[in-house]
């Protein structure tokens, strides 16, 4: 699955000539809706009447780009999955399930979209701490950790001195919500 997600991201970047989630949402015809009164929910992906829609909390600050990339992951990877009401909706209990595979896949998609391989590998070879990489890429540190773990699994990265710890699928809501 890791290679499939990686290739899906690379195909999107190549097709639309951008890795910017804002531009991708617009170019892909996905409706973006902001909500003001959400307390814990950061984002949701849904399809209603064939309209692909991402709904995100208004006040996410620097985290907005990461949440948009995560929800784009649901669009690209899970659009075909329907719930009991025959709707595509990633809001239910799965959003906060620590080891839910769909949430983890969306996180993997987001880390590949937001962290370019060449820049990551260059910083990795310089032994730059993951916290500093997270600041450079403007992503949660868990995305940097996940990127290293996924590149290692695909044989694109040697283990060197870093310890790979795959974060749980709910780290965005748990640590940043």
Instruction: Tell me how many degrees the CA angle 127-132-135 measures, rounded to the nearest 5.
Output: 145
Please provide residue 158's backbone torsions phi and psi, each rounded to the nearest 5 degrees. Answer: -90, 155
Q: What is the pLDDT of residue 95?
A: 40
What is the rounded CA–CA span in Å between residue 39 and residue 22? Answer: 23
Check if the beta carbon of residue 140 is closer than 8 Å to that of residue 176.
Answer: yes
CB crowding 33-54: b at 16 or more within 10 Å, else e: eeeeebeebbbbbbbeeeebbb
- How many structural domains comprise the chain? 1
What is the rounded CA–CA span in Å between residue 71 and residue 48? Answer: 15
- List average pLDDT for each run of 10 residues in the chain, which is 177 residues long: 91 98 97 83 84 89 93 90 50 47 91 97 92 95 92 82 55 57
What is the rounded CA–CA span in Å between residue 32 and residue 147? Answer: 26
What is the rounded CA–CA span in Å between residue 148 and residue 81? Answer: 28
Q: What is the pLDDT of residue 37?
A: 73
Domain that holds residue 8: 2-176
What is the rounded CA–CA span in Å between residue 104 and residue 150? Answer: 12
| pTM, 2 dp | 0.83
Instruction: Tell me how many degrees the CA angle 110-151-77 measures, rounded to the nearest 5.
Output: 35
């Amino acid at each position: 699955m890791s290679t499939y997600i990686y290739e899906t991201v690379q195909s999107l970047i190549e097709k639309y000539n951008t890795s910017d989630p804002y531009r991708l949402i617009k170019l892909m015809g996905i409706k973006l809706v902001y909500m003001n009164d959400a307390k814990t929910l950061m984002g949701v992906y849904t399809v209603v009447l064939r309209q692909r829609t991402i709904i995100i909390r208004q006040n996410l600050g620097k985290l907005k780009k990461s949440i948009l990339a995560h929800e784009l992951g649901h669009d690209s990877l899970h659009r075909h999955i329907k719930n009991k009401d025959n709707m595509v909706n990633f809001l239910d209990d799965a959003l906060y399930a620590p080891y839910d595979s769909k949430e983890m896949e969306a996180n993997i998609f987001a880390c590949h979209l937001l962290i370019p391989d060449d820049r990551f590998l260059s910083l990795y070879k310089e032994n730059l701490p993951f916290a500093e990489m997270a600041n450079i890429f403007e992503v949660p540190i868990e995305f940097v950790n996940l990127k290293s773990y996924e590149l290692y699994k695909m044989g694109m990265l040697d283990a060197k001195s870093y310890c790979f710890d795959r974060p749980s699928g709910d780290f965005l809501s748990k640590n940043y919500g």
